[in-house]
Amino acid sequence: MRVDSREFCVSVALRSRYFNFGAGAVKVLIVDDDIIARRHLAHIFDTLNINYDLYADAAQAWRAIVAGEHYPIILSDWLMPEMDGIELLKKVRSMDLKYRPQFILLTALTDTEYLVKGLNAGADDFIRKPIIAEELHARLQAAMRLSRLQLTLKHHNIALSDALTHLEKDLDSAAKLLASLMPKYNINDDIEFSSLCKPCQFLGGDLYGYRALTKRQTAFYQIDVSGHGVPAALFSSMINHDLVRGHGEQELLLQELADGEIIINAPVSVVAELNRRYLAELASDIYFTMNYALIDSACGRVRLCQAGHPSPICYRQQTASTELIGDGGFAVALVAEAVYEERVVQLSAGDRLFLYSDGIIEAENSATRVRYGVERLQAEIKRHGACDITTIINKVYESVCQWRGHDQLDDDVTILALQWNG
């Protein structure tokens, strides 16, 4: 307890039923340069059994706060020599305290301009002089209720922060697990793959993959599930399980006959079966777009089925030109009567094929709201055509971020690039 050695100072250690704050009694800071006012306030606080520290000098009160005294409620006179109540208020509000004191100004000033000035400085309430004990008691109780609410809110915020930290750790672990499901190595020397996946949240609905079905035939695909976050990520992992490991006992991508012969299912058949399965099994409004393709590593022939996904871009090494493959198609798990079509692309040695999500071409410039667009994507691929495919997709991502003005994404961004070496 701070004691004013120059003039009258009094303190009591009793607790009021209104001011017991669980861990101990709350102490109120009182500052008034008038000795009669201080004695009057001391008498009221003694009668109410409320702990307090009483100062005649705002500077001394300020030093007590700086020294670490905890005052949930501060009563300060407005007009005082040297440091007045407004200056003390501003100093208190400028401090980085772990709590926000309820600051009540004691004043005989009644003009609206003074009340506005006090509120703008950060005052919570006013008590007019001369002080009436009943009014003081009522305003102290109101201030204490606000202090309790602030403390409760603080505890809730701490609990929420801890829960969020745990959730972020769990989501980060889940994101790493999902990332581990995506392939990262080339299958053979004839085909090179490279990829980039940037979810806009911890977890995303974008997915890519590739899988050798026979010595010559390799399946590769890219999927974009509607929505973001956990639901989209769980849905994409289900689709990945179907494409990589089959659906129960039934293999989706190929058929193995009794004599050992392997029949590769056409891309159109694979997409149509996915559409049938997910429409029948899932009672939800989630759907997905995809590009699913087969490449013959011996001749560079690609068979592609486009299901509502952005059109792949083919880069021709010999002419340093690009072309779009396909024109849309129906999304999967959206329309039962959807009919899918197959496109055939013949690659020459060194040609590249880029599969990408709409998070790239729909990325908006933060200033103009203009989208990145497929033309800009084609130009970026051509600009770096002499580079390897890993460098190209990284340059594309850098270009998208520059276009956005930052690297915060509104949608998942995924690129799967393929080069046929012949």
Residues 357-363 have a mean pLDDT of 93
pLDDT over 70 at 160, yes or no = yes
Position 249 scores a pLDDT of 52
* Rama region for 275: left / alpha / beta (φ>0; ψ in -120 to 50; rest): alpha
Confidence band (pLDDT; 50, 70, 90) for 233? confident
In SS3 terms, 8-51 reads as CCCCCCCCCCCCECCCCECEEEEECCCHHHHHHHHHHHHHHCCE
Q: Which residues pair with 202 in a beta bridge?
A: none
Tell me which residue of 67, 69, 107 sits closest to 85, measured CA to CA: 107
User: Is the CA virtual torsion 237, 239, 240, 245 positive or negative?
Assistant: positive
What's the pLDDT at 25? 65
Specify the pLDDT at position 358: 93
Instruction: Give the pLDDT score at 246.
Output: 53
Whether the predicted pLDDT of 14 surpasses 50: no
Each domain of the chain, given as residue ranges in start order, spans 27-155, 181-420
Can you tell me the mean pLDDT for 215-244?
86
Predicted pLDDT at 77: 94
The contacts of residue 221 (CB under 8 Å, 6+ apart) are 208, 209, 210, 243, 290, 291, 292, 293, 355
- Give the dihedral of Cα atoms 376, 379, 385, 390; nearest 10 deg: 0
- Domain 181-420, CATH class in plain words: alpha beta
| Mean pLDDT computed over 359-367 | 93
Q: Report, as an integer, the average pLDDT of 35-39.
A: 93
Output the pTM of the full model: 0.67
More confident residue, 263 or 203: 263
Q: What is the pLDDT of residues 292-325, one digit of tens each?
A: 999 999 999 999 999 999 999 999 999 999 999 9
Q: What is the pLDDT of residue 7?
A: 37
Q: Which of 39, 102, 32, 36 is nearest to 70 (CA)?
A: 102
The answer to whether the beta carbons of residues 191 and 421 sit under 8 Å apart is yes
Which pair of structure tokens corresponds to residue 134?
Answer: 């009943």
Q: Is the pLDDT of residue 407 over 80?
A: no
Choose the weakest-confidence range: 21-35, 37-51, 89-103, 171-185. 171-185
What is the pLDDT averaged over residues 160-183?
77
The HSE-up count of residue 397 (CA atoms within 13 Å, CB side) is 23
**pLDDT number for residue 183:** 77
State the chain's mean pLDDT as an integer. 87
Mean pLDDT, range 173-178, rounded to an integer:
70
Cis peptide bond prior to 130, omega within 30° of 0: yes
Pull the structure tokens for residue 111.
Answer: 């003009």
Question: Quick count: other Cβ atoms within 10 Å of Cβ 8?
Answer: 12
Q: Is 189 or 21 the better-scoring residue by pLDDT?
A: 189
Q: Considering only 168-172, 236-240, 255-259, 356-360, which range has the smallest mean pLDDT? A: 168-172
Q: Does 3.40.50.300 match the CATH number of domain 27-155?
A: no
Q: What percent of the chain has pLDDT over 70?
A: 90
CA 89 – CA 353 distance, rounded (Å): 66
Closest alpha carbon to 128 in 117, 119, 139, 113: 139
Three-state DSSP at 274 gives helix
pLDDT at 22: 40
Query: Do residues 341 and 329 lie in contact, with contact meaning Cβ atoms separated by under 8 Å?
Result: yes
* Mean local confidence (pLDDT), 132-150: 89
Q: Are residues 399 and 331 in contact, defined by beta-carbon separation less than 8 angstroms?
A: no
Q: Is the pLDDT of residue 13 over 70?
A: no
Counting residues of the chain whose pLDDT is more than 90, the rounded percentage is 59
Six token digits for residue 128: 């007019």
| Position 62 pLDDT exceeds 60 | yes
pLDDT of res. 393: 96
Q: What is residue 185's predicted lDDT score, i.e. its pLDDT?
A: 74
Query: Fold match between 27-155 and 181-420?
Result: no
**In three state form, how does the secondary structure of 317-377 look?**
CCCCEEEECCCCCCCECCCCCCCCCEEEEECCCCCEEEEECHHHHCCECCCCCCECHHHHH
Residue with tokens 């949930």: 72
